[in-house]
Structure 1
Amino acid sequence: MEVEVDENDLKAAGAELLPGGRHGIRIQGWEVESLKRSILSSSTLQLWEEKLQTSHFPEMIFGESCLVLKHLNSGTKIHFNAFDALIGWKQEALPPVEVPAAAQWKFRCKPDQQVILDYDYTFTTPYRGSETIEIDATKFATMNSISLDGPNEKANVSAGTYNLQWEDCTEQIDVVALASKEPILFYDEVVLYEDELADNGVSLLTVKVRVMPSSWFLLLRFWLRVDGVLMRLRDTRMHCVFGDNASPTILRETCWREATFQSLSAKGYPTDSASYSDPSVISQRLPIIMHKTEVLKVPAHI
């Protein structure tokens, strides 16, 4: 989706595009930036193998691509990248999905040697993003301890960063407000990794963001379709309304859906893979297996 930004809309919102060839926007104390790079090089992949202790990876990893949202006054940084997502995959370690074509996949990773599919080859991840607060060197050098107001800050100081904690809540993301005819000042979609499962489906992790005059909204989506066997959709949505509050609030909604082709057939739905090419269209057919909403109160400053 290409978005043409009107200079008048930017000016009216008090926003500006990032300079120096960077792809992003600065608005209401936030800096939103996307980076899209080529597929991971073989040398970098070797480093990842050592760090993650595995030789199994998706076919296409965009390891240097990312989406970063940073609250400038506090240094709060929310970012999305393939490496952290694969850490989540490795830690969750789901059992491999049984498929009729499994015998044909034994050579998919390394043609010169047989590979037993005893790992989660779908690369399903529970990843919902990475968050830190970055403290600049000057502030960090003068801080012997950190004392912040509010229960959402966790003082794990290390190398000038500390982590944030989300709290469960009942508030929901206002989808009606998001559907309003507000101008889009910035939009992008970043693919983090993708695998076609040896032509037996798709495993895809992407993150999309759009910035409006009143808020930013993003969707991190893991989409899996193992043809004839299983579909899995893991969505993480985040919404931040700018308002007049110097300490913004971010809502995060997580929804996991999953169904077998067999269960969909029992409900009268089609079972051909062509009917399930767009996860947005068929998501309502997949039953919810996990749903939660959380809130993060961003500190005004450090």
Structure 2
Amino acid sequence: MALNGEQSDLQGVDSIDSRNKQWRISTRKRPILKAGPIDAMNEKLGIPVPEMIFGDNLVAIEHIPSGWAIDFNAFDALDRVSKTADGMLQVAYSKEWQRDRYVLPEFCIKEVVKPFDWSYSTDFKGRTHSPDSAVVWQPTDQSKDPIRTDLLSRPDPILFYDDVIFYEDELADNGIAIFSCKIRVMADRLLLLCRFFLRLDGVIVRVRDTRIYIELASKTVIRQYTAKEESYDVVQSKLQIHRENIPEDTMDKVTIP
């Protein structure tokens, strides 16, 4: 399987098979990439990677009998980031930040700044693999194929859980961008939530969620993608309205004898 745009041996994978042996859920958490793999990823993507890049991390779901699978990883998520100036979010020091991050080695005298979406906003919904080309995503809706929140809210034992970060960046102290994935597996179903969250101080708050829901006795995978955003000032004002009963500051202490 290719991660970082290269083949990976997938060492360190944690996995669990469903009770009926139809589904396999796998995750992998490795340290932040070192300089060499980061340089290789920069070159393949055509943009500088975020400050904290976990390029070997992985979350995957496989239907064992058919070989169909979907996985989430940092490289493919970043490959969905806009590599042009279209839709760029402007804040103070953004040009200086880009210039510091992006110096092409072939231009040793003059720095070249290539415009890209420096908030690292991605609409990545997972990378799908299928031996059968006829197995493709089909449009549906909540009324036809609901994500059963009533079943998910039951206190069923969780057989497998993981929380995997793919990348994070503090945007030159202007906020935070983070792309991560949580998955929980019960005896009869699973839910995956892959979220891109962006807070750009004084500009915008953005959330893009991909949910994968599977009833493990079935062969149907439901994928829901939602994208929401609002201006920073609007979110801040709404939070202030609802915080009247929440103390701004708290203090406590402990004395060890």
Query: What TM-score results when the alignment is normalised by the length of structure 1?
Result: 0.66
In the TM superposition, residue 37 of structure 1 has moved relative to its aligned partner by 0.9
User: Residue type matched to 1:121 in 2?
Assistant: W
Q: CA RMSD in A?
A: 2.7
CA contact (8 A) 2:48 2:102 kept: no
Structure 2 residue aligned with 1:196: 170
What's the CA shift string for 1:38-97, capped at 9, x where partnerless? 112222223223322x24221111111101111110001111111111111146874221
Whether 1:47 aligns to 2:17 is no
107 and 91 in structure 1: CA distance in 2 versus 1, 3 angstrom threshold: closer
Given candidates 26, 33, 37, the residue that maps to 2:30 is 37
In the TM superposition, residue 101 of structure 1 has moved relative to its aligned partner by 4.1
1 or 2, which has the higher helix percentage? 1
SS at match of 2:222: strand
What's the CA shift string for 1:15-56, capped at 9, x where partnerless? xxxxx974121113111110111112222223223322x242
In the TM superposition, residue 104 of structure 1 has moved relative to its aligned partner by 5.3
User: Residue type matched to 1:164 in 2?
Assistant: V
What's the CA shift string for 1:89-133, capped at 9, x where partnerless? 146874221113436535541599866473210110110101112
CA contact (8 A) 1:192 1:206 kept: yes
CA contact (8 A) 1:107 1:115 kept: yes
SS at match of 1:210: strand
In the TM superposition, residue 199 of structure 1 has moved relative to its aligned partner by 1.4
SS at match of 1:191: strand
In structure 1, stretches of 5+ residues that fail to align are 1-19, 135-152, 156-162, 272-302
What's the CA shift string for 1:120-154, capped at 9, x where partnerless? 101101101011125xxxxxxxxxxxxxxxxxx63
Distance 1:131 1:98 in 2: 33
CA contact (8 A) 1:131 1:164 kept: no
In structure 2, stretches of 5+ residues that fail to align are 1-10, 242-257
Distance 1:48 1:21 in 2: 21
Whether 1:89 aligns to 2:81 is yes
Distance 2:91 2:216 in 1: 47
Structure 2 residue aligned with 1:109: 101
